[in-house]
């Protein structure tokens, strides 16, 4: 990682000159220039001061650049095929467990189901893309068809099954991430 280049980019985004950044950090303009050209490396304490002056912190500065990804394509997905349950789960947002919600796409062949999920905190939402599913919430069951949605707080055991003769698929979102 080119620390200097990244500091320069942040400084320019904030509309600061090297001199203004130097003043805010009580460093010399020449030192800021050397850091930006990667001719010298600041100490951790000095880097923290520079980043504070630029309105950020170490975690954000060194954060994974993939966190900035907005659009995800099928090649980004992680897929798990469960032959026993006749279902496929696709994590359509990679590493979503670090976010506040975790969307997945579930495809269930006739006679298949998802695993029974235990009660947990949070909320769950689903949108049926294809077919018809049976949503089990504790002792209750709900028939959910293509175009229908469901929303619940997972206060009891829950799972989805496909009792129909055709494949069903849905988008299922859990918050906080549970899948």
Pick the more confident residue, 90 or 66.
90
∠ CA 60-65-67 to the nearest 5 degrees?
80
Task: Give the Å distances, CA to CA, from 80 to 100, 101, 104, 147, 177.
Answer: 22, 19, 11, 24, 17
> Are 23 and 50 a contacting pair, CB within 8 Å?
no
Mean pLDDT of the chain: 91
Q: Is the pLDDT of residue 66 over 60?
A: no
What percentage of the chain reaches a pLDDT higher than 70? Answer: 95
pTM: 0.63
Task: For the chain, give every domain's residue range.
Answer: 3-63, 74-175
Other Cβ atoms closer than 10 A to 114:
22
d(CA 138, CA 170): 20
pLDDT per residue over 20-38, tens digit each? 999 999 999 999 999 999 9
Domain 74-175 has CATH 1.20.120.550: no
d(CA 18, CA 12): 9
Query: Looking at 58-67, 122-131, 145-154, which range is the least confident one?
Result: 58-67
Pick the more confident residue, 67 or 155.
155
| CATH class of the domain defined by 3-63 | mainly alpha
Q: How many residues does the chain have?
A: 179
d(CA 140, CA 136): 6
What percentage of the chain reaches a pLDDT higher than 90? Answer: 72
| Interval 60-66 mean pLDDT | 70
| Nearest residue to 27 (alpha-carbon basis) of 61, 59, 53 | 53
């Amino acid at each position: 990682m080119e620390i200097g280049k990244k500091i320069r980019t942040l400084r320019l985004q904030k509309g600061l000159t090297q001199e203004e950044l130097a003043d805010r950090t009580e460093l010399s303009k020449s030192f800021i220039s050397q850091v930006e050209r990667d001719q010298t490396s600041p100490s951790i304490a000095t880097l923290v001061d520079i980043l504070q002056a630029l309105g950020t912190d170490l975690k954000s500065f060194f954060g994974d650049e993939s966190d900035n990804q907005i659009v995800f394509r099928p090649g980004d997905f992680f897929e798990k095929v469960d032959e026993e349950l006749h279902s496929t789960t696709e994590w359509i947002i990679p590493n979503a467990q670090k976010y506040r919600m975790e969307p997945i796409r579930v495809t269930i062949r006739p006679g298949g189901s998802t695993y029974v999920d235990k009660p947990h905190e949070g909320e769950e939402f689903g949108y049926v893309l294809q077919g018809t599913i049976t949503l089990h919430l504790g002792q209750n069951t709900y028939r959910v068809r293509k175009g229908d949605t469901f929303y619940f707080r997972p206060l009891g055991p829950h799972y989805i099954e496909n009792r129909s003769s055709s494949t069903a698929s849905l988008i299922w979102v859990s918050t906080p991430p549970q899948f």
